[in-house]
């Protein structure tokens, strides 16, 4: 089986056998239906109002089917493609215009192999809004997820409405970190560590940057930050780039965890989230 190379327009590679999404996949499974990816790619630039496009990524076919049925109950969303957890498959989805990628990946295992798998998977989908659906998360695995740009983490133990709330927030460009889950993450990540070791980095922040960190930690978007602090969106973006550099964080989610862990935001606020 051969794959036609991606053309200059960035279209989805098409396999000779359209039921197989990955060429010579080392996992030996059908990763996704390439014909569905082709249809999603063809419709990505429609001018009329369209539902947000969700990609379901899970190794459990029953889980994918159940999530598909649930998402189909919401007119504002459409499942564009279902795929197994495979970095090669995600690379083949480039160009279809993903609004949210819902990834069923348990973050309760921080073994080196598991973290390497997570890194490979997230690296295959840069700039894609990713929401991870997981069992009780491990702190180190969460840090890897945030470092590679995951927008949110939702627990499988939560209600269905919480899942849809998370999808809504991610689609709007927000970050989703549940209060109780974040509190547990903070408790895990602070054990045996000197949280004051970051004082030298925090001291680099200006008063305005500290204000921005506190508001962002409350789950506010850039627009909400600009409205609350009476500054323009461009200024917020500039400040966040500087803050990321000073604190050595690489994503909004990682910044939020950093803020609560190091006293830049009040943990008591989590009780109301």
Domain harbouring 81, CATH code: 3.40.50.2300
Among 137, 154, 186, the domain boundary falls at 186
Pair 232, 124: CB distance under 8 Å: no
| Domain identity same for 144 and 251 | no
| Domain identity same for 233 and 172 | no
Share of the chain above pLDDT 90, in %: 30
- Does residue 204 belong to any structural domain of this protein? yes
Over residues 138-177, the pLDDT tens digits come to 777 887 888 888 889 998 988 999 999 999 989 888 888 7
Sequence-distant (6+) residues with CB within 8 A of 58 are: 64, 67, 82, 84, 85, 103, 104
Q: What spatial distance separates the first Cα and last Cα of the chain, rounded to whole Å? A: 51
Residue entry with tokens 């014909």 = 35
- Does residue 1 belong to any structural domain of this protein? no
Distance from C-alpha of 235 to C-alpha of 226, rounded to nearest angstrom = 8
- Does residue 20 belong to any structural domain of this protein? no
For every residue of 9-32, DSSP letters joined together read T-PPP-BSSTT--STT-TT-S--B
- Does residue 23 belong to any structural domain of this protein? no
Which backbone phi and psi does 101 adopt, to 5 degrees?
A: -110, 115
Among 147, 164, 186, the domain boundary falls at 186
Question: Which of 117, 87, 120, 82 has the alpha carbon at shortest distance from 101?
Answer: 82
Averaged confidence pLDDT in the chain: 79
Instruction: Return the pLDDT at 271.
Output: 53
Q: Is the pLDDT of residue 128 over 60?
A: yes
Stated as kind and residue range, the H or E segment containing 132 is strand 130-134
Distance from C-alpha of 28 to C-alpha of 136, rounded to nearest angstrom = 29
- Does residue 85 belong to any structural domain of this protein? yes
Band (pLDDT 50/70/90 cuts) for residue 189 is low
- Does residue 121 belong to any structural domain of this protein? yes
* Higher-scoring residue by pLDDT: 108, 139: 108
Question: Which of 109, 191, 180, 174 has the alpha carbon at shortest distance from 142?
Answer: 109
Q: What secondary structure letter does DSSP report for 111? A: -
Distance from C-alpha of 176 to C-alpha of 20, rounded to nearest angstrom = 33
| Domain identity same for 144 and 99 | yes
Residue 215 lies in domain: 196-272
| Domain identity same for 158 and 242 | no
| Domain identity same for 127 and 156 | yes
Instruction: Return the pLDDT at 96.
Output: 78
Residue entry with tokens 């995600």 = 90
Please state the rounded mean pLDDT for residues 223-228. Answer: 92
Torsion of Cα atoms, 12 then 14 then 20 then 21, to 10°: -20
| Domain identity same for 130 and 80 | yes
| Domain identity same for 172 and 247 | no
For the domain that residue 225 is a member of, what is the CATH number?
1.10.10.10
Please state the rounded mean pLDDT for residues 42-58. Answer: 75
Beginning with the edge strand found earlier in the chain, give each strand of the sheet holding 77-83 in spatial order: 77-83, 52-57, 100-104, 130-134, 152-155, 176-177
| Domain identity same for 111 and 145 | yes
Highest mean pLDDT: which of 61-70, 216-225, 249-258?
61-70
| Domain identity same for 208 and 263 | yes
Q: Is 267 exposed, middle or buried (0-12, 13-18, 19+ CB in 10 A)?
A: middle
Over residues 16-46, the pLDDT tens digits come to 333 455 654 665 556 777 666 666 666 666 5
Number of domains in the chain: 2
| Domain identity same for 173 and 267 | no
| Domain identity same for 203 and 115 | no
Among 143, 167, 186, the domain boundary falls at 186
Band (pLDDT 50/70/90 cuts) for residue 202 is very high
- Does residue 156 belong to any structural domain of this protein? yes
Both structure tokens of 92: 């083949």
| Domain identity same for 177 and 246 | no
């Amino acid at each position: 089986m051969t794959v036609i190379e991606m053309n200059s327009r960035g279209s989805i590679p098409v396999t000779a056998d359209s039921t197989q999404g990955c060429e010579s996949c080392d996992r030996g499974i059908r990763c996704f239906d390439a014909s569905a990816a082709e249809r999603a790619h063809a419709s990505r630039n429609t001018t009329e109002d369209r539902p947000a496009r969700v990609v379901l990524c899970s190794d459990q076919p029953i889980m994918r089917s159940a999530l598909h049925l649930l998402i189909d109950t919401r007119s504002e969303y459409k499942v564009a493609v279902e795929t197994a957890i495979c970095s090669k498959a995600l690379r083949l989805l480039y160009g279809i215009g993903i609004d949210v990628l819902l990834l069923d990946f348990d973050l309760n295992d921080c073994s080196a192999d598991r973290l390497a798998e997570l890194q490979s998977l997230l690296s295959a989908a840069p700039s894609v809004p990713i929401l991870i659906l997981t069992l009780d998360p491990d702190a180190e695995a969460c840090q890897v997820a945030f470092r590679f740009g995951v927008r949110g983490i939702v627990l499988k133990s939560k209600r269905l409405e919480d899942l849809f709330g998370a999808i809504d927030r991610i689609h709007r460009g927000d970050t989703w970190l549940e209060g109780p889950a974040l509190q547990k993450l903070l408790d895990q990540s602070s054990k045996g560590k000197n949280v004051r070791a970051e004082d030298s980095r925090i001291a680099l922040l200006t008063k305005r940057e500290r204000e921005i960190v506190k508001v962002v930690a409350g789950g506010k978007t850039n627009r909400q930050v600009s409205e609350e602090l009476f500054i323009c969106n461009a200024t917020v973006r500039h400040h966040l780039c500087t803050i990321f550099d000073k604190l050595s964080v690489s994503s909004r989610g990682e910044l939020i965890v950093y803020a609560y862990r190091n006293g830049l935001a009040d943990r008591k606020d989590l009780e109301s989230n």
